[in-house]
Amino acid sequence: MPLIAFGWWTYSYSRRYEYRNQHNLKAYQDSIEAGQLPIEVCSIFDEIEQYRRFIQFRLKASHAIHTKALRRAVTRSSAADEYFSNVCDRLVELGLANKLPKILVLTPAGKVLVEEILSSLI
């Protein structure tokens, strides 16, 4: 679900973007007083980055990825589908996940190493 935050030094995000409001309170106030959005940093995600973020959040939260949920949550493209397939294959190859029909589930070793998986493989 998208999150739209209001206020100084807050973050907002959706599947396609993320932005952070000014971290400097004076700059935040100056932007508001000038009638401008107080956004300091904004990132717009391509399809592969959408997949990457979805995979990271799901593996960290539930240690599994349901392909049906993935298809609903991200923009589809052949490059992004290939990226997801490669990640799945690599995790299975390393013994860190099992690929079942319509779901990828981390093994016990994958659950222990989830932070390493997120930082190095994805």
* Structural domain contains residue 2: no
Count of domains observed in the chain: 2
| CA torsion, ordered 98, 117, 59, 93, to nearest 10 deg | -10
Q: What is the pLDDT of residue 38?
A: 95
Q: Of 105 and 68, which is predicted with more confidence? A: 105
Give SS3 for 23. coil
- Render pLDDT for 34-45 as a digit per residue (tens, 0 to 9): 999 999 999 999
Q: Residue 89's domain is classified under what CATH number?
A: 1.10.10.920
Mean pLDDT of the chain: 89
- Render pLDDT for 83-110 as a digit per residue (tens, 0 to 9): 888 889 999 999 999 999 889 999 999 9
* Structural domain contains residue 3: no
Angle at alpha carbon of residue 20, lines to 62 and 6, rounded to 5°: 95
Residues in the chain: 122
pTM: 0.70
- Residue 116: is its pLDDT beyond 70? yes
Q: Are 80 and 67 in contact (CB under 8 A)?
A: no
- Render pLDDT for 23-36 as a digit per residue (tens, 0 to 9): 999 999 999 999 99
Question: Domain check: are 31 and 57 in the same one?
Answer: no
Question: Domain check: are 28 and 54 in the same one?
Answer: no
Question: Domain check: are 51 and 102 in the same one?
Answer: yes
15: containing domain: 11-44
Q: Which position has the token pair 């493989």?
A: 121
